[in-house]
Amino acid sequence: MSVLPPNMADFDTIYELDEEDERVVSEEHLVRYCPEPVIMRGAGHITVFGLSNKFDTEFPSVLTGKVAPEEFKTSISRVNACLKKNLPVNVKWLLCGCLCCCCTVGFSLWPVICLNKRANRSIQKLLEWENNRLYHKLGLHWKLSKRKCESSNMMEYVILIEFLPKYPIFRPD
């Protein structure tokens, strides 16, 4: 006489899943059902080559339950501190380069371009450090992305906060 209910009789039996079995979740399915990324546009009054001098520290409501508002504000404050350190130097070199542009046939703008690339790389490294420290564990990925402005054909840098897809743990290797 069996003590187990009939549905528990096959409890330890291993079944093979076919590729067309509907229980197998594909990567396209996971990406399709991820929420739209959050776009943090620059909120400063100075923009040099598409990079604004600060980002707004206001907590987006989409991230409620994903990350603490204090952590979000701390991360944005770190990005703003990096911008505050790098952008005034870029503006000074841009003004100097524009004044000397006619005499140097445009070569005086090269320092500004190099300093802007350096500022972009430092922000990208900072965001990667933040991702490794906290956000990948929470299922988020922050990155600096170049987007077209909504109001004009110009390009701007935005912070893109993407939601990482959740992989089911019951999926076989």
pLDDT tens for 29-65 read 555 567 889 999 988 887 777 888 899 999 999 999 9
Dihedral sign computed on CA atoms, order 124, 125, 128, 134: negative
Return the closest-CA partner of residue 38 out of 149, 145, 114: 145
Residue type, 59: F
Average pLDDT over residues 53-78: 93
Indicate the pTM of the whole model: 0.72
Contact by Cβ (8 Å): 84, 54: yes
pLDDT attached to residue 27: 56
Residue 164 CA, chain-centre distance (Å), reads 10
Residue 84 has, within 13 A of its CA and on its CB side, a CA count of: 8
